[in-house]
Amino acid sequence: MSRKHSHHAGGPHRRSVNAGPGSSSRSSADSNNAHRDAAGSPTYKPDLFDRPVRPSKLGYNFALILVGVIFIAAFYGAGMDLGALLRMPANIWQYGQLMTQGVFQTFDITNPEDPVRGYWVQSFTAMIESVAIAWIGTVIGALFSLPMGFLAARNMSTLAVYIPTRFVLAIVRAVPEIIFAIAIMIPLFGVGGRGGALAGAFALGISSIGTLSKLISEAVEAVDEGPLESVRASGGNQLQMIRWAVLPQAMPEVIAIWLYRFEVNIRASAILGVLGAGGIGTLLSTVFNARAWDRIGIVLVAIVVVTIIVDQISAFIRHRVIHGANVRTKRSKNDDDGDGEAPDAPSDQPGEPPRDKVAAVPI
């Protein structure tokens, strides 16, 4: 008792007579934080209530400045005109009005001699031709990408086959389809007409082989190894393993990859058409050279409408292939069969036989 009294009375951290109600806790905190080292100078010891030190943002700010400097250097290094960028909003408004006037022109749909009706028919016909070119290119890519994907999969081929196949596919992916069209296909098949459409289809097909094969090989490498081991254990060969163990797992994703590539090829066919490879791109190049902004607006509307329709159909098919029937439809069907009521819980206790099957015991 005397020790405690002497500590509070004559200690180094004596409580003042007029101290407030929180001074005791503050003095005890000060006594814990204030220590003296060997030289007798007080040192600070942080407690649990100290906030962590905010990290420095020097590196983050330096990275932002570096990105900005590189962007400005690339802008001026490429010879871009800042004045054209500033005039862009006014130009968009001007040319947008001209194209809108062309789109909303009235025409007689029953009169085949109406020029505006002919513009719309010509635009949608050319866009359908672009869809056909994209479809042919996707089919070509799909036919070659499936076997190439298996050859490029690490779990399906030996190292002597895997490395050369991957190298060839990397070369094909490195060359854009527009280079295939300019350097190889258009000189072979010609510009415009049926030859240009064939050149565009083969350019899209060869370019699709590289991308599709890589994606399919990744899908094959990601399959479950259990069915593969089961086929091997039952004595199946490589082809039987691919047919019964790999394809059932990878085929839904492969079909989804093919459909997605078809969507990409539709957009790419429009670009190839500007070079004379047929389709909507050829028509767009013609009306743009004539600066017929009303017809350009009609062509752009045809591109947007057909592309959206094809994308929605492709997305629906891909969803059904990957996820099956709609879950919401299944639930509604189950609710209709059961009148929307949940089944009654079993009344039997765990560990007891069902009540309707308990045998009568004679007394």
- 224 is a domain residue: yes
DSSP code at position 44: E
Strand, helix or coil for residue 30: helix
The whole domain housing 255 covers 115-324
Q: Report the largest interatomic distance among the alpha carbons of the chain, rounded to a whole angstrom.
A: 118
SS3 state at 180: helix
In-domain check, residue 35:
no
Residue 91 placed within a domain: no
Enclosing H/E stretch for 116: helix 115-151
Mean pLDDT of 14-18: 45
Nearest-angstrom CA–CA distance, 119 and 137 = 27
Look at residue 215 and tell me if it is in a domain: yes
Helices (H), 222-358: 225-233, 238-241, 247-274, 280-289, 293-323, 327-337
Residue written as token pair 């101290």: 19
Among the listed residues 78, 112, 96, 89, the one whose alpha carbon sits nearest the alpha carbon of residue 300: 96
Tell me, yes or no, whether 290 lies in a domain: yes
The pLDDT of residue 273 is: 86
* Beta-sheet pairing, 34-36 with 42-44: antiparallel
The overall average pLDDT reported for the chain is: 80
Q: How confident is the model at residue 1 (pLDDT cuts 50, 70, 90)?
A: very low
Nearest CA to 147 among 244, 212, 237? 212
Q: Which residue has the higher pLDDT, 12 or 158?
A: 158
What is the mean predicted confidence (pLDDT) over 20-27? Answer: 47
pLDDT in tens, 281-306: 889 888 988 888 989 999 999 999 99
Whether 90 is in a domain gets the answer no
Q: Which pLDDT does position 46 carry in this prediction?
A: 57
At 45 the three-state DSSP class reads coil
Give the mean pLDDT of 190-200. Answer: 81
- Looking at the structure of the chain, the number of domains it has is 1
Kindly report the CATH number assigned to the domain that includes residue 119.
Answer: 1.10.3720.10
pLDDT at 337: 58
Comparing CA positions, the residue from 127, 117, 124 lying closest to residue 280 is 127
More confident residue, 340 or 173: 173
pLDDT at 26: 46
pTM to 2 decimal places:
0.69
Alpha-carbon torsion, ordered 17, 19, 24, 25, to 10 deg: -170
Residue 25 counted as domain residue: no
Domain membership flag for residue 243: yes
pLDDT, tens digit (0-9, with 9 covering 90-100), for 118-150: 899 999 999 999 999 999 999 999 999 999 999
